[in-house]
Structure 1
């Protein structure tokens, strides 16, 4: 692999004293200036941990991800299609109401009532469909995410299947699970053009939960509190925030975000319902940093990996741009098939420049490819080649 052609990687310089310096390349976003406060609704997060794309899109820095088993809430990325509602909606969380349709006994229930139906905890990756978009060669609209639009999160709530059962079971002829968000629709705009409403295949309700806690605390407003639909293994757009309606439906939502947005199509082609929707995540991994032991000169090459909708089987690491591979070691316990797993390979690097890459494989036999084909909106990029890092040892 020609190192000079990989212009969209991150570049590291490891000095003889064991220090690491890094600089981001290939994207219009800039690191947040700690002297500038974050928007009010995310003021509780540390600005030093983020790259700010806009008030509604904050990317976690690659180095911050490190080898974290669980992403702390104050380090988790932000991606909102619409401005967050007023924090008035979390003043009395248990009073939040949600409409349930497409069942034997449709009706409205409160969050407090949902808590009496059942409870489960699931650990799963939350990842924006465009994570990795900055690594495509063609120009794409949307935030130029590198690897920081992802995190591993603990969600607690009621299983959707239990709610459906409690409401009389699924109505006949339904094929989709449809969630509608409670964001305020700007006056004068037709709701279907901007309202967040996503439909996923009905089978997804077997894993889905209506979550009210995130990482052991009440769901923050910035991440969808008081109630969020969580569909393990599915891209973030399907995990609808501020959930106001949950329905089993015969057809997909008619809204733009379902019909034409988040559709995978060739570059230059408009979106339409016949194209694949951004549903299930693919297998993926990336390097989050080299660490240097100044006494031995050995380097820890570490990162994170996910299997998508299947558990991980292995992660391999290359220090020569994919010419040879070595098995990495998983760090920490396995938190389930939808969670990511940190990994590490301890190796020695000779003086010079090396291309460090990782390649994940899940139990279904899917292996991360070297290259991922371009698409109009820059979705789903899991190519290990562009996610690699160049490291200079000197």
Structure 2
């Protein structure tokens, strides 16, 4: 996939972000006349200056809002909800929230209050929507036209799922998947499998799975899955089920449509099917966050974020000439662990003119971001460095 056609499109995106819209790419022109984005009521506590409202259930963090501290503030984190959030009353007494545990030797329901007594661990991990980068494909994939802002790096705290399984006698024999169902209200009169959020991941994820009640040091907000959310570091966001209400160790994957046919990677024009790859583990990825369009003559500080996906990050390289030459960037701040991202920086001298500034990351096993990424029907998993590059003009 050639990067040339995307330069003008990318330039438009960056310019439009200042107005808080992506109207030309399928977004909603919200609040442009006032110069600020109007947020839906359930996320009115977020910072409107840092977000793009695509729809009431899809909000994207602006590319220039990514900081260099490594942790994404809750009030800037993107929103992607497949169903409307439950009634806010569920977070009035968080400890009363109940989860049904199945596929263990002693199945039962437990309250959040009981789960707190089983232990607590914390992990820093990237949360990223499967469609992050969809806007860079040229086949007009359906769904929100995310650029880079459907991702964040967060601290999660809660009880490890393995501790819960141990407390309930261990995982039953023959179970191959962890299957989690959200507690959203479902419409009456239709088959629940067609709309409910229930996802299955391989049982191997048990060693990292967390039932999280805290995000960045505060109770998980309702908009992000509170009072209790399944967190699977290294896995795409759809698997990190919000408002988790049922947690089962199962022999087969869920029969819900969101598992059987949704979030499946397939060629453009094909329908989703259970035999296609599922959106599970994330791949290595990075993108530049500064500068984005124009800068003055002199030294330029190039900033961005990078992560290894399911694996640890090894290094990040930056090119200021569209990929002809690369220099290794400096990773900023402390290493927050295998599943977290690292901000990076590189000081460069850019002469007057236009420059295509790109970054490419490499994980601990030597996997490097590809230059291009083949299109797929739903526009998932794009990590090609050329389409994520930015055109910077030096005056």
Q: TM-score, normalised by structure 1?
A: 0.94
Q: What is the match of residue 93 of structure 1?
A: 94
Alignment of 1:105-124 (within 5 A): 105-124=106-125
1:273-288 equivalences in 2 (<5 Å): 273-288=274-289
What is aligned with 1:339? 340
Of residues 150-159 and 284-293 in structure 1, the stretch that sits farther from structure 2 once superposed is: 284-293
Offset of residue 289 of structure 1:
1.2
Deviation at 1:66, TM superposition (A): 3.2
> Is structure 2 residue 264 aligned with structure 1 residue 266?
no
Within-5 A mapping of 1:309-348? 309-348=310-349
1:258-288, Cα deviation, whole Å (9 max, x unpaired)? 0000000000000000000000000000011
1:311–1:336 Cα contact (<8 Å) kept: yes
Following superposition, the deviation at residue 29 of structure 1 comes to 2.0
2:140 equivalent in structure 1: 139
Q: Deviations over 1:197-230 (max 9, x none)?
A: 0000001011010000000000100000000000
1:8-58 residue CA offsets vs partner (Å, 9 max, x unmatched):
323699xxxxxxx89988722256525563111101001111111100000
Alignment gaps of 5+ in structure 1: 14-20
Maintained 8 Å contact 2:37/2:52: no
Q: Which consecutive aligned stretches of 4+ in structure 1 deviate over 6 angstroms post-superposition?
A: 21-26, 291-294
Q: Does 1:180 align with 2:181?
A: yes
Structure 2 residue aligned with 1:48: 49
Greater relative contact order structure (CA < 8 Å, 6+ sep): 1
CA contact (8 A) 2:57 2:84 kept: yes
1:272-322 Cα shifts (integer Å, max 9, x gaps): 00000000000000011129997x821011100010111100000000000
Closer, same or farther: CA 360–256 of 1 in aligned 2, 3 Å: same
Looking at structure 2, the residues matched to 208 and 35 of structure 1 have their Cα atoms a distance apart, in angstroms, of 38
Asked if the contact 2:6/2:136 (under 8 Å) is kept, the reply is no
| CA shift for structure 1 position 68 | 3.6
User: What is the deviation of 1:232?
Assistant: 0.3
Task: Report matched runs for 1:1-394 at 5 Å.
Answer: 6-10=7-11, 27-29=25-27, 32-33=30-31, 37-290=38-291, 297-394=298-395
Aligned residues: 387
TM-score when scaled to structure 2?
0.94
The separation in 2 between residues aligned to 1:240 and 1:358, in whole angstroms, is 31
Assess if the C-alpha contact under 8 Å between 1:130 and 1:380 holds in 2: yes
* Preserved contact between residue 140 and residue 377 of structure 1 (Cα < 8 Å): yes
**In the aligned structure 1, how far is the partner of 2:354 from the partner of 2:210?**
46
Contact in 2 for aligned 1:31/1:51 (Cα 8 Å): no
Partner Cα distance (1:141, 1:35) in 2: 27
Q: Is the 8 Å Cα contact of residues 20 and 52 (structure 2) preserved in structure 1?
A: no
Say if 1:371 and 1:23 are closer, same or farther in 2 by CA, change over 3 A.
farther
Q: Does the CA-based 8 Å contact 2:70-2:153 persist in structure 1?
A: yes
Task: Tell me if structure 1 keeps the 8 A contact 2:37–2:51.
Answer: no
CA distance in 2, matches of 1:10, 1:382: 19
CA contact (8 A) 1:31 1:50 kept: no
Aligned Cα root-mean-square deviation (Å): 2.1
Distance 2:11 2:182 in 1: 36
